[in-house]
Structure 1
Amino acid sequence: MALFSHHRVIEEESNSSFKSLFEQYAPRIYSFGFSYLKSVEDTEELVQDVFFRLWRQQQHLDESQNIKAYIFKIAVNLIYDQLRKRKLDKLVSELNSMGYSDEDDTTWNTLRCNELQDQIDALIMQLPEQRRLIFTMSRIEGMSYDEIANKLGLSVRTVENQIYRALSFLKKHIDSKYMLYLIFYYFS
């Protein structure tokens, strides 16, 4: 019986500290997420997903770890996934508007787009962190170089340089059969 009550005390402490983390970081994650997603619904879902993932991983967390950095890392990854999904949805929509009918093999087209997006995503993830962030803000979120520079406290020249380097890396490593897509969506 004592073991059971000890387990309950540990569980209550765990729930209490998780609630404290939620109260402390949920508003920050919401504000951070909304600045990228620009959608109340998507941002609310982001906050839920961040804390759901944190809850699932709570037993594996190292107390010496910077929990704020860990929470925001989860948020950044989820935001990136959401923006990538939007970009892919836009591509599929554009392909459909270019004359593909329901009779065409849209499943094949979607699979090709997914394959391409996966390759691009893998390459983007290889970029240094700041370059990846700047590239994502510019090419996926559609922010101007001035907006990025202001948001990150960098010079416009630094932003331009980072975009140029990211595009050069992608151009060098992308499968040649996708080069037209890369030029159309990322170089324009």
Structure 2
Amino acid sequence: MVEIGRALLRKLLVSGYDDLRRRLTRRLGSADAATEVLHEAWLRLDRGPDIVALERPQSYLYRMALNVAVDRQRAENRWVGKAELEALMVADTDVLDPEHIAAMRSEMAALERVVAQLPARCRAVFTAALVDELSYREIAERLGISLRTVEREMNHALAHCGKHFEGARLKRRARASADVLYMGGGGSRAADHDHDE
């Protein structure tokens, strides 16, 4: 094992950036995600110990980047995904009865209330990421803040929204799964929804 300082790890990250980005792009399926993960890894190097004993520093950097990706995925999973929102809004009209429409409107109103509780900058970061679909780097440039601030604000927003919606989300997912199962058998879930509550 060799003792390596943070400054040397940063140099290794810079010199091996293209290779790390290529490997992460293959692993994550997105060049933008790979770039953002490497930037977060760079920031984490500042928060780590001054000297680390390592056998393979490049493997350490790659593992660190993968850990960042896992952390980001966990944070994103706490919140309703864009696909879920679109599915709620664009679902087939045969499936959307008045009860479902009222429930979706209620959820959207609740979401607007929860997002409105966020501080202005946090709300701007959150809506830029989820509504405008901007990368963290683009958000940082648009708002004139650091990438680290964007990440911190997103984590705060996701935690805030997750705290308010976790119970409702689990219940909705259970109902959606049951609806999919019933669609094949031609059954109706309307009567069963009454038993869920």
TM band (smaller chain): 0.3 to 0.5
Using the size of structure 1 for normalisation, the TM-score is: 0.41
Which structure is higher in strand share?
2
Taking structure 2 as the reference length, what is the TM-score of the superposition?
A: 0.40
